[in-house]
Amino acid sequence: MSAYVGSVINVSLPTITEFFNSNIATTEWIVTIYLLAISSLLLAFGRLGDLRGHKRVYSLGFILFTLGSVLCGFSSSPEMMIGFRVAQALGGAMLLSNSPAILTGNFPPEQRGQALGLQATLTYLGLTVGPSLGGWVTDQFGWPAVFFMNVPIGLIGLFFCLKYIPEDHQTSNHERFDWRGAFVFMIGLVALLYALNRGQVWGWLSTKTLVLSGSAILVLAGFVFLQKKTMNPLLDLKLFRIRAFSFTTIGALINYVSLYFIMFLMPFYLIQGREYSPTMAGLILTAQPIMMAVVAPVSGSLSDRISPRWLSTIGMVILAVGLWQLSRLDGSSSIVSIMLALGIAGFGTGMFISPNNNVLLGSAPRNRQGIASGILATARSVGMVLGVGIAGAIFTTVIARGAFASPEMNIFPAIRLSYVFCTGIALIGALISYMSGHHEKTI
């Protein structure tokens, strides 16, 4: 459900803009506000799960997400929908930040990789069917149906949650929630993500971008200082003393940067560069998430038997090979070669993600699983924004200042340089995965 909602709204955005007779600058906030809100709340709700019980927070997440979806469907203006998307993001953050902790807490270590791999498969399937299903639903029933579809799914999810998820074995009720830290972190991360999100529009060296990003870094630095002085911190900084935890967190961030490089750039290559229809482009792009969905559970199961470090390192190397293959695409590349390159990248991502998450979550103590889950989900959100921001900066710069007078002629050089740059990022990620060391159990 969370993956579907994250990918489907982009397809419906043009229809929503036309329905309300609005402008893109306003309706794009329907997407942006959800991203900013959910990213800034992941760590807080993961910590709340540690304190009050992951099942309790997870159940409330279904209720808020479903209610927010209903309200979005009944919105009578873009501004109203933007407000209701915040409510939807509250529920989404509760779900995303607690589900890995629930899996980690209820499966023995020898099955944890398999469980996380199956979760990754369902996420990738949601990403795969979201755009095509959302486009069809919008065409047949109108944009409100995209939100109303979440209601039965959310109610069924809530039923299964209440009936089948065991109660938490251990909660840290003696500790207090760090409201001050949560507020400071939210302000700092929202400012940073918004600066990254708007950087390519404002200009990366513009006054607004530099001031906002600089202020965000100062606020986040203040957050770290507060966490060192707080008795019950929102973010237990001692987690990052664990080599496996800190390195796998960086690895996850790099993996999502690479993944969103591909997701951002490929539509430009296929639709503007190769002049494929959106439908055909969508079909070609499914090669990557389908491969990810197939490989992730296998890799997760293997990580329960052999070293996750080697699996994640090899996966990141394969991802780098796929990115290099994508950099070789030009105006005459066949559909088979495009899908093969996407498939290689998807194979590498699927092979990396489950073992890496297995080590990240397994290296955190039991009473810090919510924090670990929140950090993992935050790494995904920040990686997404960084990937789109960096890819967009390289792509738009080459388009505007490339060797050819016509911007259309510069698309292929822009794609090539962007993917070469990202290949280097993925290779750094492979080195970090290798350096993660052995699995450590406790702080």
Q: What is the pLDDT of residues 62-78, one digit of tens each?
A: 999 999 999 999 999 98
Q: Which amino acid is at 236?
A: D
Asked which of 5-9, 80-84, 243-247 is least confident by mean pLDDT, the reply is: 5-9
Q: Determine the 3-state secondary structure of 166 from DSSP.
A: coil
Distance between CA atoms of residues 322 and 335, nearest Å: 15
Query: What is the average pLDDT across 222-243?
Result: 88
Residues 35, 37, 40, CA angle at the centre, nearest 5°? Answer: 100
pLDDT band at 31; cut points 50, 70, 90: confident
pLDDT, one tens digit per residue, over 96-117 is: 889 888 988 888 888 888 888 8
Which has more confidence, 394 or 425? 425
Query: What is the average pLDDT across 130-145?
Result: 79
For residue 336, what pLDDT is reported?
A: 95
User: Angle between the 179-202 and 207-229 helix axes, to the nearest 10 degrees?
Assistant: 160
Query: What is the average pLDDT across 378-396?
Result: 83
pLDDT band at 251; cut points 50, 70, 90: very high
For residue 88, what pLDDT is reported?
A: 92
Cβ-Cβ contacts under 8 Å for 146 (sequence gap 6 or more): 8, 9, 12, 73, 134, 137, 138
Say if CB 279 and CB 136 are below 8 A apart: no
Q: Per-residue pLDDT for 25 more than 80? A: no
